[in-house]
Amino acid sequence: MQLAEKQVVVVGGSQGIGYETARLAAQAGAKVTIMGRSPEKLQAARDRLGEVQTAVVDITDAAAVHQAFAAMQHVDHVYIAAGSFVGGKILDGAVDHFRAALESRLWGSVHVIQSAASKIPAGGSVTLTGGLSTDRPVAGAWVTAVATAAAEQMSRALAVELSPIRINAVAPGWTDTPMWDAIFGEAKQGAFQEVAAKIPTGRLATAEEVASAVIFLMCNSAITGEVIHTDGGHRYV
């Protein structure tokens, strides 16, 4: 009941973990707004979710983010799910290619926080998205590791700076979301099975399971500056 009638904004809420967070928040009685770049995906998500608000926003566009939050009187909780996998070895790629990882997960989060902070009451929260790559980097994905690490460190640093607003992060491991469809295509399930065989839980987390951790962070007013790992213990093996 902690989310009943609360204003919850999910940035990147049209699919994957963001969508599931919006769904769980709405089920808990929150008034939900989902933001994303694609009008079509937002509309499809709204059709499935029911009574939620939508806003077409590119998180890397500071003016657009500010405009979207300026229209809101107050916001109780924000979850920033936006952020993508960017691969490539550092000696092989162009800086502009690598920059995309930080533009969304780091600077995009900065745009959101700068725009939303004045709307969030004491005890309200912002939850960022880190990831397994912070603790278990792999060759060919260095910039994604840097980006997830930045998001997690922001949760610690800003918990102090923005108090009494609470800042936390979730750090998903491999999670079955649409992001991987574009990366692996038809080979996705085979890749998932190979990964699942290596981790302690023996399976990948679902988007709903990661979203439930986000909801927990919204509801528990004693938690700030923390990173919750939903990787099935993958970082230990």
Whether the pLDDT of residue 180 is over 80: the answer is no
DSSP symbol at 138: -
Overall average pLDDT of the 140-161 stretch: 97
Question: What tokens appear for 69 in the block?
Answer: 């939050």
Partners of residue 128 on adjacent β-strands: 169
Distance CA 226, CA 152 (A): 8
Overall average pLDDT of the 171-185 stretch: 84
pLDDT given at position 23: 98
Question: What tokens appear for 143 in the block?
Answer: 């910039």
Structural domain that includes position 183: 7-236
Specify if 183 maps to a domain: yes
**Beta-carbon neighbour count of residue 70 at 10 Å?**
10
Average the pLDDT over each of 94-103, 175-184, 219-228 and give the range with the smallest value: 175-184
| Strands 166-172 and 125-129, sheet pairing | parallel
pLDDT given at position 52: 97
- The domain tally of the chain equals 1
Specify if 14 maps to a domain: yes
pLDDT given at position 74: 96
Question: What tokens appear for 160 in the block?
Answer: 């102090």
Specify if 2 maps to a domain: no
- Give the pLDDT confidence of 25-46 residue by residue, as tens digits: 999 999 999 999 999 999 999 9
Average the pLDDT over each of 58-62, 157-161, 174-178 and give the range with the smallest value: 174-178
- Yes or no: say if 121 and 76 are a contact pair by the CB < 8 Å rule: yes
* Overall residue count recorded for the chain in this entry: 237
Share of the chain above pLDDT 90, in %: 90
Whether the pLDDT of residue 188 is over 70: the answer is yes
Specify if 192 maps to a domain: yes
Specify if 132 maps to a domain: yes
Overall average pLDDT of the 40-59 stretch: 96
Side-chain-facing half-sphere of 59: CA atoms under 13 Å: 28
Residue 127 sits in a domain whose CATH number is 3.40.50.720
pLDDT given at position 31: 98
Specify if 1 maps to a domain: no
Specify if 100 maps to a domain: yes
